[in-house]
Structure 1
Amino acid sequence: MWLQIVLFVLVTFLIYKLLFSSKKDYWKKYGIREIDTSHVVSTLDVFIRGKNLALADKYAYDVMGGDKFCGTREMGIPRLILKDLDLIKKIMIKDFDYFTDRRNFFDDPNSALKKMLPSLEGDEWKGVRSAVSPTFTTGKIRRMMEIFNSVGEEWIAELKKRAKAKGGSIEIDVAEVVNGFTVEVIGSSVFGMKTGTIQNPNSVFAEMAAKIVAMGKWKVVKFTLSLVFPGLFKIFRIPLMDMGAMNFFQGILEQGLKERLSGRMKGDKNDFLQLLVEAKKGELKTAGNDELSEFEKDAQLKTGAGEEFDKKQYLTDEVMIAQSLVFFFAGFGTTSNLIVLTMYSLAVHQDVQDKLRREVGTIVKKNGSLDYDDLGKLVYMDMVLNEVLRMFPAAARLERKCVKDYKDPVTGFFAPKGSFVCIPIEAIHSDKRYFANADKFDPEHFSQENKAGRNPYAFLPFGTGPRNCIGMRFALVESKAAIAYLVHNFRMEPTEKTPIPMQTKHAVLQVLPPDDLGLKLIPLNIK
C-alpha cells in the first residue's frame, strides 16, 4: 500500500510538471482576467503543509476588486471564480443545465461511493435526485421527530449521570460527546437500529463511523491529489475511504434492505431506508405539510417535455444503499461539526446562550420533549445556527463543472466545456458588504431586518439550486434538537481546552473544529 502511494505521488508530480507547469495565462485566450494565487497557496503548501485551499479563493476574491469573475489555476487546473451574486444565481439556478455536474472524486464504477447522489452525473443524477427528494420533505422529517426526541432524552440523561458522578459538573471532549448523539441519530434514522454509542463512545458502530469521516494527513493528501488526477485513482485502485468501515455499513444496509423488500421486517419504521423502499414501491405518501421553502423551490428540477424519471429504474438496491451511506459521508461529520461549533460559540458568548435558553424554554413540553413544529418557531435559534454556518461553513467552496460551452450575454462571462466554476463561500460569508461585523460572532446578522436588506445569495451554507444539499432540512432539525436539549438542561462554559478566539482547521476544503476542543457542562435545575 505504501509503495502504491509513493509511486502515485511520484507519477502525479511528473505529470504535473510536464503538463501543467508551463501553462501561463491560460484564460487570456478567452479574454478573462487571470489572477495568480500560487504564491498564496502553492502545490507544495497543499501536499506538504496541508495549507487551506480556500486561502487562494479569498486572495483572488479580494484582488478582483469590482470585477464579477476571474480565472485562476489551482495545482495546474484552470478554474473560474465568481464574485457577482447575480451571476452566481444564474450559474446555480437559471442556467443550471450548463452546470449540472460536480467534481468527480470517486471514479470506481464498482464502488457504492460512485452511486452516491453527490457523485452522480447527467440523467442518472436527475433520476436519482427526483426519486430521493420526496424522502426529505417536511412531512417525512416530521416522521423522524420521535427519533430525535428519544436520542436527545437518552443523551441528556447520560450527560447528567456523568455530571452527578463528578460532583455536579463535567468537562467534556465536545466532539466525542456530540458524535455520540449524531451517530445514534443516524443509527436509528437510517439503519433502524440502536448503536449504544451514547453510553459507549468506543462502540464498533462509533469506531467505524469515525474511520469514514476521519481526515488524517494521508487522507487529506489523497483527497487533494484526487482533485487533480481523479483518473489515476482508478488506475492505481487507491481508495479514498476506509474500505473496512465501508463494508461494515454496507453489509448492515444490504441486510436491512433485503428484509424490508421481502416484507419480513414487521412494524412501522420511520427511518430513511424505509422511506426509500416506499418510494421504490410507489407507496410514499404525503405526511403532514410538505410545503417548500425558497431554498427548496430553487432546488426543483425543471424537466423537459415528455421527460419523466422512473423511480423503479433508478432506485436499484445499489443506489438505495449508496444514498443511505451519504448520511455518513455528507451528513455525519458536517452535522456534528455544526453542533460542536455552536456549543463553542454559546460557551464563549454567554449572553447569546442565555437568550437562546429563554427562547427554547417557551417550547419545551412538560415531559422535556420537543415538537417538530415548535422547533420551527425558534427565530433566535435560526439566527444563532445561521451565524455559526456563516463563520464556519461546512464547505469553504462550492464547485460546478461546465458540461457545455457557456456565455453570459450580460457580464461577458465565458466558461468552456469541462471547466470548473467555483463559488468562494468562505470569502463571500466574510464580505463586510453583506455582513457588517463579518469578523465577529453576531447572530443579529440574521435578524429579519438585516436579512431583508441583503441579497439572499450572499449566504449559501447548503449551496443553492438543484444540486444543493438535499439533507439540509434533516441536518438543521437534528442540530436544533441537539442544541435545544443542551441549553435547556446545561450551562456551557469554556475551559482551559477552549481556544479563544476559535482556531478552526481545514482539510482540503472542509472547515473543521480544532482537535480536543473542551467545554464544561453545568446541569441546570429545570422543573
Structure 2
Amino acid sequence: YREKYNVTRYDFLDLLIKLRQNQSILEKGEKPGGGQYSSKPEKREGMTIEEITAETFIFFAAGYETTSNTSLFCLYELACNSGIQDKVYSEVQEILDRYGGDISYQALQEMTYMDQVINESMRRYPVLPELFRECTKDYKIPKSPLEIEKDLKVVIPVYSLHHDPKYFPDPYTFDPDRFSPENCRNRHPYVYLPFGEGPRMCIGMRFGIMKIKMALATLIGNYQISLTPDTDVPLQFKSNSFTTLPSKPLMLVFTSIRGLE
C-alpha cells in the first residue's frame, strides 16, 4: 500500500521500504560504518519482502510482546497478593503527590519497590524461558571435568535458573523482597537473566522497564485489581510458544478506586 500510493510516515516500516528499494537510510551528512570515512562506495542491496516481514516480526515481538506480557504477569501477581498491591499503590501515590501527579521519568526512577515487583515477576515468568548462545572459545567448567568446545551451541535454561531453590528459596512464592538491594548483593549475578547478559543482552532493557513502570503506575494509581472466578491459580502455560504465555486468556477485574472511596 505504501509503495503503491507513495505514502511516507517516517517510521520503522519506512526504513525497511527504503532498504527494499535500494535507498540509503543514512541521515544527511552521515557516513557509513558509524561515521567513519571510507574510500569505498556504500554497498546497497535491496531487501526481499520476506526479510522485511521477518524484521518487522522481530521488532514487534521484542519491542511490544515482551513488555506487554511482563506487565500482564505483574498485574496477575498483584491481583493474587493484595498486600503487595497495596504497598505498590502507596508508593505510587506518595511519589506522584511529590511530582504533582505527573508520571515523569524522575518519578518512575524513584519507584524502587515497583522495580522489585517487576523483577520478581520476570523471575517467576521470564519472557524467554531459554537463551541460546554459541561458545567462542574452548572453556573448561571450574571444578568439573567437563569442557565446552568452541562453536558449540549452548542452551541456557533461564526458567530453571529462576526457580532453583539454591538461589531462590521457595521459588514458586511471589516475594519482591528477593530483589532488595541487600539480597541482590548476596546472590550470584548470573542466576537472574530476564534480559540475558553480556554483549548480546537485550539493548532495550531500560526502555522496556520504563514502559512497564509507566503502565503499572497508571493502572495501580487508578484501579484495584482482582482475580475473576475463572482465572487460573496457579497459571498454566502454553507448551508450544516461543515465549512464556498463559494457556488461555488471563482475565482480571479492574475496579475504579474512585468508586471505592
The 5 A counterparts of 1:209-220 are: none
Aligned to 1:462: 195
For normalisation by structure 1, the TM-score amounts to 0.40
1:494 to 227, 244, 247: 227
1:433 is matched by which residue type in structure 2? K
- What SS does the corresponding residue of 2:91 show, helix, strand or coil? helix
Residues 1:450 and 2:173 are matched in the alignment? no
For normalisation by structure 2, the TM-score amounts to 0.77
Over 3 Å counting, the alpha-carbon distance change for 1:350 and 1:316 in structure 2 is farther
Aligned to 2:4: none
Per-residue deviation, 1:368: 3.8
Per-residue deviation, 1:352: 0.7
Aligned to 2:68: 336
Residues 1:350 and 2:82 are matched in the alignment? yes
1:381 is matched by which residue type in structure 2? M
Aligned to 1:310: 33
The 5 A counterparts of 1:96-495 are: 250=13, 252-254=14-16, 281=30, 310-311=33-34, 326-364=58-96, 368-403=101-136, 406-408=138-140, 410=142, 411-495=144-228
2:225 is matched by which residue type in structure 1? M
2:33 is matched by which residue type in structure 1? D
Count of residues in Structure 1 that have an aligned counterpart in Structure 2:
239
Q: Distance in 2 between matches of 1:461 and 1:475?
A: 12
Per-residue deviation, 1:519: 0.9
1:525 to 249, 258, 261: 258
Q: Distance in 2 between matches of 1:385 and 1:361?
A: 18
Q: Distance in 2 between matches of 1:315 and 1:381?
A: 46
Q: Distance in 2 between matches of 1:464 and 1:392?
A: 17
Over 3 Å counting, the alpha-carbon distance change for 1:315 and 1:430 in structure 2 is farther
Whichever structure has more helix as a proportion of its residues is: 1
Q: Distance in 1 between matches of 2:141 and 2:149?
A: 15
The 5 A counterparts of 1:79-90 are: none
Over 3 Å counting, the alpha-carbon distance change for 1:409 and 1:385 in structure 2 is closer
| Percent identity (aligned) | 35
Q: Distance in 2 between matches of 1:342 and 1:315?
A: 44
1:407 is matched by which residue type in structure 2? Y
Uncovered stretches (5+) of structure 2, i.e. residues with no partner = 1-8, 36-41
Question: Residues 280 and 315 of structure 1 are in contact (CA less than 8 Å); yes or no, is this contact kept in structure 2?
Answer: no
Q: Distance in 1 between matches of 2:44 and 2:195?
A: 24
Q: Distance in 1 between matches of 2:116 and 2:44?
A: 37
- What SS does the corresponding residue of 2:128 show, helix, strand or coil? coil
Q: Distance in 2 between matches of 1:409 and 1:280?
A: 49
1:18-40 deviation per Cα after TM superposition (whole angstroms, max 9, x unaligned): xxxxxxxxxxxxxxxxxxxxxxx
Over 3 Å counting, the alpha-carbon distance change for 1:481 and 1:280 in structure 2 is farther
Uncovered stretches (5+) of structure 1, i.e. residues with no partner = 1-190, 194-248, 263-275, 283-308
Q: Distance in 2 between matches of 1:487 and 1:507?
A: 32
1:177-226 deviation per Cα after TM superposition (whole angstroms, max 9, x unaligned): xxxxxxxxxxxxxx767xxxxxxxxxxxxxxxxxxxxxxxxxxxxxxxxx
Over 3 Å counting, the alpha-carbon distance change for 1:342 and 1:415 in structure 2 is same
Question: Residues 337 and 513 of structure 1 are in contact (CA less than 8 Å); yes or no, is this contact kept in structure 2?
Answer: no
Over 3 Å counting, the alpha-carbon distance change for 1:344 and 1:452 in structure 2 is same
Q: Distance in 2 between matches of 1:254 and 1:347?
A: 41
- What SS does the corresponding residue of 2:198 show, helix, strand or coil? coil
Per-residue deviation, 1:496: 1.9
Task: Report which structure shows greater RCO (CA 8 Å, sep ≥6).
Answer: 1
Q: Distance in 1 between matches of 2:44 and 2:127?
A: 28
The 5 A counterparts of 1:41-60 are: none
1:380-419 deviation per Cα after TM superposition (whole angstroms, max 9, x unaligned): 111100010001001111111235x513274444233442
Question: Residues 132 and 154 of structure 2 are in contact (CA less than 8 Å); yes or no, is this contact kept in structure 1?
Answer: yes
Question: Residues 119 and 176 of structure 2 are in contact (CA less than 8 Å); yes or no, is this contact kept in structure 1?
Answer: yes
- RMSD of the alignment, in Å? 3.5
Q: Distance in 2 between matches of 1:418 and 1:384?
A: 37
Q: Distance in 2 between matches of 1:362 and 1:447?
A: 20
Q: Distance in 1 between matches of 2:28 and 2:61?
A: 22
Deviates more, 1:350-359 or 1:511-520: 511-520
Over 3 Å counting, the alpha-carbon distance change for 1:347 and 1:277 in structure 2 is farther
1:328 is matched by which residue type in structure 2? F
Q: Distance in 1 between matches of 2:71 and 2:157?
A: 23
Over 3 Å counting, the alpha-carbon distance change for 1:279 and 1:316 in structure 2 is farther
Per-residue deviation, 1:444: 1.1
1:127-184 deviation per Cα after TM superposition (whole angstroms, max 9, x unaligned): xxxxxxxxxxxxxxxxxxxxxxxxxxxxxxxxxxxxxxxxxxxxxxxxxxxxxxxxxx
Per-residue deviation, 1:485: 0.4
